[in-house]
Amino acid sequence: WGLIRSLASKQLYCSDGDLFFYRFGCLEDVKSRLISPNVLLVIGFSYCHKPFECPAGRFTDACVRDLDSPVCGQCFIGKCVHALPDARVEPLFITTVHYIGEKMIEAHDRWPDREILFLITACELTLEMFGKLGHAVGFQGVGVRLGGQICNTMPAFKASERGLKPGMAVVNDDAQADMMALIRAFAESVVSDSRTVSLASTPPSRRDDIIASDRRG
Ligand code: SF4
């Protein structure tokens, strides 16, 4: 019934430039929800904007984010992954629209008490298809539309899902800045939340030591 209601619905998302919002109105809404301590972020990057020379393979769901690799050093995916916190996040490298749908459902099953938000990069066609599935099962988050050499026909789209794609897609500059702003806000909230938890579980006599030793710079 959820799928029928979803497909019948006229407006599955709203958009602003390259950002597509699912169950959110704007970027600030997402940011303010992301900093909630109960949120778990599923962040997914389409393999269509991996560099041609990606050391993990271009059409794979892997990313080695090698600090010594000049290719990784220039890669927006690597930059995002390095900015993520160590907790409350699930990074994915998306191969197909079904893959990201399955991973979202898995996340809901594994963390039923968490509020799961997604942030994914994908071509507009994938965002449309994912939006229908996501609307049916209540996913919420942001899709970032890819630019550059995207698939503009269904045969090209199906070929790209099998790893046949001569051109490379990109996340446009404004969308990169918006994604990094969301990631940084989320990372800061996770770090400050973990400090609060560790402080609350520490005997009062040791709290001053922790605050002093935790200062950086
Ligand atoms: S950081 Fe980029 S280039 Fe490096 S492995 Fe990950 S996707 Fe490939």
Q: Characterize the bridge pairing of strands 140-145 and 19-22.
A: antiparallel
* Chain center to CA of 126: 14
Supply angle C-alpha 106, 49, 14, rounded to 5.
65
Q: How far is the CA of 49 from the centre of ligand 1 (A)?
A: 10
In the chain, which ranges are E strands?
A: 14-16, 19-22, 39-46, 89-94, 115-122, 140-145, 147-148, 169-170
The dihedral region occupied by 127, where left means phi > 0, alpha psi between -120 and 50, and beta the remainder, is alpha
| φ, ψ for residue 118, nearest 5 deg | -120, 150
pLDDT tens digit string along 17-59? 999 999 999 999 999 999 999 999 999 999 999 999 999 998 8
pLDDT at 158: 73
pLDDT tens digit string along 79-96? 999 999 999 999 999 878
Q: Give the Å distances, CA to CA, from 92 to 13, 46, 101, 118.
A: 22, 9, 12, 11
Segments of the chain scoring below 70 in pLDDT: 1-11, 157, 195-217
Q: Which atom of ligand 1 is the closest one to the Cα of 78?
A: 1
pLDDT at 104: 87
Q: How far is the CA of 121 from the centre of ligand 1 (A)?
A: 15
Tell me the sheet residues that pair with 89: 41
| Max CA distance (Å), the chain | 66
- For a mutational test of ligand 1's pocket, the pick from 60, 64, 82, i.e. the residue with the most ligand atoms closer than 8 A to its C-beta, is 64
Burial 130-148 (b: 16+ CB within 10 A, else e): bbbbbbbeebbbbbbbbbe
In 49-100, which ranges are E strands?
A: 89-94
Q: How far is the CA of 5 from the centre of ligand 1 (A)?
A: 38
Q: Is the ipTM beyond the 0.90 threshold?
A: yes
pLDDT at 197: 56
Helix axes 76-83, 173-200, angle to 10 degrees: 20
| φ, ψ for residue 192, nearest 5 deg | -70, -30
Sorted by sequence, the CB contacts under 8 Å of residue 131 that are 6+ apart come out as: 12, 13, 20, 22, 143
In the chain, the N- to C-terminal Cα span, in Å, equals 55
Sorted by sequence, the CB contacts under 8 Å of residue 40 that are 6+ apart come out as: 88, 89, 90, 107, 111, 114, 115, 116, 117
Amino acid (1-letter code) at residue 124: E
Q: How far is the CA of 29 from the centre of ligand 1 (A)?
A: 30
